[in-house]
Structure formats: C-alpha cells, structure tokens
Structure 1
Amino acid sequence: MKFHKTSQLKRRKKKIIGQYALFWPPALVFLTIIRSVGTIEVGSFDPGLLPSILLAAVFGFIGGVISGYFQFMLEEKIYGRTSIRKLALAKAIFIVIFLVTLIVIAYIMTRVIFHHDIDFITFAFDEGSAPVYLYIISVDIFMTRLRQVNLMLGEGNLTKLLAGKLYTPHEEERIFMFLDLQSSTTLAETLGHIKYSQMIQDCFFDLGVTNAYRAEIYQYVGDEAVLTWPLQEGLNRDNCLKAYYDFMDTLESKREYYQNKYGSLPFFKAALNCGTVTATEVGRYKREIAYHGDTLNTAARILAKCNEFNEEMLISESLRQMINTSDFEFKPMGEVPLRGKKEAVPIFAVKRKS
C-alpha cells in the first residue's frame, strides 16, 4: 500500500505541475502580445515581437513548473495543517520569492542570450516593469483560486463543468462508498460543537489518503462522507476496498494525536454498492455535480445495517460478484430487507486478511 500511495502521490504532483506548466506560457505570451502590438516599449530593452513571444513561452514554462510545485507542496504539506493566517503568510512569501526568481532568470537570459549590458537593479526596476510584476502576481493568485475551486468541486470536475459535459444528464457505471462516524452523537455531546467539528475536520483531512486509490470524494454530509469511483477504477487493484482500510490505518497511526486532542480515536463504518447512476449538473446560483439513482439509496440503506450486524464494512451482492481478490474475506449475511426496498438485498461483510 505504501508503494501504491507513493506512486499516486507522484502522479498527483506531475498532474498539478503539468497544469501550471501548460497555463503559464499562454498567459505570458498573451501579455507579450498586448504589450508589443501597436505600442512602443518604454523599457530599455526590446528584442522584438517574435523573440519576445518565444522567451515568454520558455519563461512561462519555467515559472509554471516552479509555481505548480509550490502549489503541490501547499496542498500536501501546509493546507489544512495550519491557521489561515500562516497559510496566507506562506503564500505571500512564496509570491515574493517566485517573483524575484523570475526576475533573476529573466536577467540572466537577457545578459546571456541578447548580450544586453545592464546591471541587475536597473533591470529589475526598469520603466514599465511594475505592470508586468502586477500581472504575474495576479495570474498566480488566479491559478491558486482556480485550484481551490477545482478541489471544492472534486479533482477534474471543474473541467467537466466548463466543457458542459454534465449540462445534460447522462448515465455512468459507478461504485459508491458511504462512510459514517460511529458514536457521533456521544462524541458531539462530550466534545462540544466546536471541538467536535475540529475532529471531523481532522478526520476528513486524513480521508485524503483515499486519493491514492483513485477515490473521488463526492459529498461531506455532517459526519458522513460519500466516495465514488468509475466502475473499473474502483475494481482495479481492489481500490474501493483498500481505500477504506488505508483510511482506518491512517487514523490508527495517529491514535496518540486523536486521544490527546479529543479523548478518543474516531472509527468509521462503510457500505459499498455499484450500479448505473445519472450524472448531471444541478443548481442555478450554486452549481455542483450530482449523482442520482437507486445505487446511492441502496448503499445508504446498507450502511444502516453495519451496526445491526456489528460489521465494519458491508457491500452489496452486485459489487461482490465483480470483485476477484484473495486479499479480503467475504461473509454472506443473507438477504436483508432494506428500508424503501420492496425486495430484500443480499449483502456481504468484508474483512481484510491478516
């Protein structure tokens, strides 16, 4: 599992850096064209339109790699682990370092490629440079905000919304996992609302480990979370089952932290089901991606049976038939009547082998 997570983390890093490396060159080329076409360069250095465009593209790629790497570090190492003030301070420090780094790179390129004889201070504060710096800072802030929107919607869903892929409802084959915090009422009464909310915040931060198993976090509903996979991705390498146990292992590895801060170790039970759902974009003033269908309703009803059977994970027969693995044990629980279902549904309890 550790290798699997490391591999997924590397893919995530490459993806974020790639997004920034693709966005920054067009952004700087656009600035170059706007500054060059039909205007006169007020600065002391003007290599011409075509060389400027080529330089902007190379410069943008380098800047995109740097900015993307920092954004990855921000999401993995800092975000959710510190206060908003420290987060803002870290971002402000990065912007300053980022800007200075770009200025140094641009100065070196100007000296080496174009043999332009100018000292660094004069180059850095050349006439007309201030709007360029403001533009670079604005683009970086815009990219950061865009990443936050993407994370709020779920990785990759922003692209789907912008492309209009979910404007018209369509069917998808998916796996859904419902997670529920056990003894939530007792914990809320013991801890109080603020500290209880902090514990939920910590738990769902740790739930991020499921990203290594290609899980998409569909919804947070109070102390419950709903994860989903396209059918084949969820079945591949038993991702839909391993994600749960890795989440539990992560909480266990932080037992001391949770015990010291909240007086107990949170424990979640899970229910999984698969089937056809309708995916669409909903809402007018607040839009989000929604999945509709009996598949979700059945998973939610199965979750309610975890306490009744005293099992940590239950899955539907339809999902059990698709899983071919020797890493887990499956115990038939019989055909179980579920609220809102006319017919009883066969379900299975899942245990990880030692």
Structure 2
Amino acid sequence: MISFLSKLINKRRWRIIRFYLMGWTSAFVFLSIVRGVGTEELGTLKFDFISGLMIAFTLGPIMGIGSAVAQILVEERVYKHVSIGRLLLINAIYSVLFIVLLIVIAYGVYELYFGVPIDIITFAFDTGSVAVYFYVIVVDLLLAIFRQVNLMLGEGNLFKLLRGKFYTPREEERIFMFLDLQSSTAHAERLGHVKYSMLVQDCFNDLGVAVENEAEIYQYVGDEAVLTWKLKQGLQNENCLRAYYNFTKLLHKKSEHYQKKYDCKPFFKAGLHAGIVTVTEVGKYKKEIAYHGDTINTAARIQGQCNALESELLLSESLKGQLNSNDFAYTTMGSIPLKGKKDKVEICAVSLDS
C-alpha cells in the first residue's frame, strides 16, 4: 500500500498538492477575516470570525486537493495533447464544475458544523454569494498563474526569488548535465522549422521524467537542455545517471509515436561534471536564476566529446569517483583536451551494467 501511494504521489505531485493546499486554505482564511472582522453579513447565514475560521480550515484543504488533482491531470494528460480551442473549452467547463463543487462542499460543511435552515438552491443564490464565487474564480486564476510562473523559473524558485535568496551571488556545489539532440540539423532540414520545433517540444516534455530523479531543468537552448542537481541529491541513488537512462527509456517506449509523427527516433547524448558554481538572479526587467562557473563550461565540453569518443553518456573522472553503484559500468577514456581549458580532463564513458 505504501509503495503504491509513493508511486501515485511522487515528489512533483506532492509539491503541487502542497501548493494548492496552502493556497486555498490561505485564501479562505483571508476571506474569513474580511467577512468576519468589522463587517456584517447580508445573507441568510451569518457567521462570526471563529466560525468562519473553522469553515476556512475545513473547506481550504478539500478545495486544495480538488484543485491539485485537476492541475496534475491537466499537466500530465491534457496540456500539449489538445488544441488551444479545446483547452479553453475545458477551462470553461472546469470553472463551472469548480463552482458547483464548491457549493456542494460548502453546504455540507455548513450543515456539519452549524446546520443550514435553507435548501441548497437557496444557499447557492443567497445574498452575497455571487461576490464569493467571483473571489473563488479570481483566486483559482491567480494560483494557476503562480503555478505557471513557478514552472518557468523552476520548481520552488519563485518563492526563493521573493525571499531574495538569489539577490546576492553565492556558491553551491552542483552537478550539471548537458543533453544534446543528435542529428538535429538533419531533422530540421527534413521536417522544416515548425515540425522540428514540435519534435523538440515533445522531447523536452518527455524530459520532465527527470524530475523524478531530483533533477532541476535549468535551461533549454535550442535543441539542447541543461539539467542540474545539488551535489547530495545528484549523488543519492545515482540520480544524475538514472535521470538520463529513464529519459532514454521513455523515448524508446514512445518510439512508435515519434516514428509515426516525425519519421525518426530521437536520441540524446549527454555529458556530466560536478563542482562549485555561483548562483544569482540576473536581469532587471526579465528575471532569471543563473549559474556561473567553470563547472558548467566543463560539463558542456564533455558532452561535446560524445561523438568523437563514440559514447552516449560521458562524465568527468572526478564525478565518477563520488558515485557508488553496481548498476553502471565505467570505461576510462583517458585525459582529453577540452576547448577553453588549460589542463586536460579525465573522462569516463558510462553504460548500464549488464
């Protein structure tokens, strides 16, 4: 049972659930304060501040879980799988159903705590209810916007930015992985710009599987993606290596889809390196969290050696020495001169240990 729940609610889903739980509970507490302190209810049902808080702390988590489940379904099953017209229609239907659900649950909560002397239809259209529905729709929209901004900045980085965590540059020890789509020029010439962009879009959507291995998706640069981990998280359970193989496994699983839609089977090669980098926020009118340091350049140069060394996954010897696993095999490729670096770098090729 525990194993089933851990698969059903992975860390990414739990972050979504937690966000909506906190968001909706805070929203209903705020509404209780506005309606219960220094104001008088115009509707049939009147509650003092304490009663309002009881309702808020009951209704908030219930609506939070409902919103989180809807968001997870949209991100995993709907978004990028339907046209924009259908997506707008789904959003409209969702808004109506959300209000209906709110009415039913709120009526049940009021009945549980205080008893309701009116029927549910009268309750739904009681004086002041339209203002509450408008408030709920606005809150739902704001939470959805915050969710999208959080995704653009990277999971959890929005609140770190608001706290000023990246205002002053600071050092972190991190692992970086550069992934590059192979034969990208040939794919672009054959497919054309629009369909090639759709190919890259689909590949990077599938790259989302890497977050299950604690990966943070740092950047997309053309047909290249950059993943990063805090050192401890990347080394734990060899997440930095498993992320790559889980991604390639997913691409292989969906090979028929790619073959049918794009007449190709996309394949990525990758390079990894670990070390100290500086992290800070940059930009005045467009904020971005940026990492600087030789570690990033080295990881990029290592990836650039994949074709020359005929390997799909390369990493530095220094990173390999920090990993401890029997699931992977390493082949020493020797000291390789990398562009822009004075000293040669010891590089290893990685493969799954059969």
Q: TM-score, normalised by structure 2?
A: 0.96
Deviation sequence 1:254-276 (CA, Å, 0-9, x none):
11111111111011000000000
Q: Secondary structure at the match of 2:306?
A: helix
- 2:234 matched to which residue of 1? 234
- 1:162 matched to which residue of 2? 162
Return 98-107 or 160-169, whichever deviates more. Answer: 98-107
Return 76-85 or 318-327, whichever deviates more. Answer: 76-85
Say if 2:269 is the partner of 1:269.
yes
Identity of matched residues, %: 55
CA contact (8 A) 1:271 1:299 kept: yes
How big is the shift at 1:8?
8.1
CA distance in 2 between partners of 1:111 and 1:343 (Å): 74
Say if 2:319 is the partner of 1:338.
no
- The one-letter code of the counterpart of 1:99 is I
Aligned length: 352
- 1:260 matched to which residue of 2? 260
CA contact (8 A) 1:8 1:212 kept: no
How big is the shift at 1:21?
1.2
- The one-letter code of the counterpart of 2:324 is N
CA contact (8 A) 2:12 2:211 kept: no
Return 56-65 or 190-199, whichever deviates more. Answer: 56-65
- 1:82 matched to which residue of 2? 82
Q: Secondary structure at the match of 1:308?
A: coil
Say if 2:127 is the partner of 1:127.
yes
Q: 1:264 to 1:302 in 2, by over 3 A?
A: same
CA contact (8 A) 1:175 1:234 kept: yes
Return 196-205 or 88-97, whichever deviates more. Answer: 88-97
- 2:111 matched to which residue of 1? 111
- The one-letter code of the counterpart of 1:242 is R
CA contact (8 A) 1:176 1:227 kept: yes
Q: Secondary structure at the match of 2:203?
A: helix
- The one-letter code of the counterpart of 1:240 is C
CA distance in 2 between partners of 1:74 and 1:38 (Å): 40
Unaligned runs of 5+ in 1: none
CA distance in 2 between partners of 1:71 and 1:64 (Å): 10
CA distance in 2 between partners of 1:185 and 1:338 (Å): 23
Unaligned runs of 5+ in 2: none
Deviation sequence 1:308-352 (CA, Å, 0-9, x none):
111101111110111111111111111111111111111011111
CA contact (8 A) 1:59 1:106 kept: yes
CA contact (8 A) 2:279 2:290 kept: yes
Q: Secondary structure at the match of 1:343?
A: coil
CA distance in 1 between partners of 2:170 and 2:108 (Å): 53
How big is the shift at 1:204?
0.3
- The one-letter code of the counterpart of 2:150 is N
- 2:62 matched to which residue of 1? 62
CA distance in 2 between partners of 1:115 and 1:274 (Å): 61
How big is the shift at 1:85?
2.6
CA contact (8 A) 1:168 1:280 kept: yes
CA distance in 1 between partners of 2:280 and 2:14 (Å): 29
Calculate the aligned-residue CA RMSD, in Å.
1.7
Return 223-232 or 46-55, whichever deviates more. Answer: 46-55
Q: 1:161 to 1:184 in 2, by over 3 A?
A: same
Q: TM-score, normalised by structure 1?
A: 0.96
CA distance in 1 between partners of 2:242 and 2:235 (Å): 10
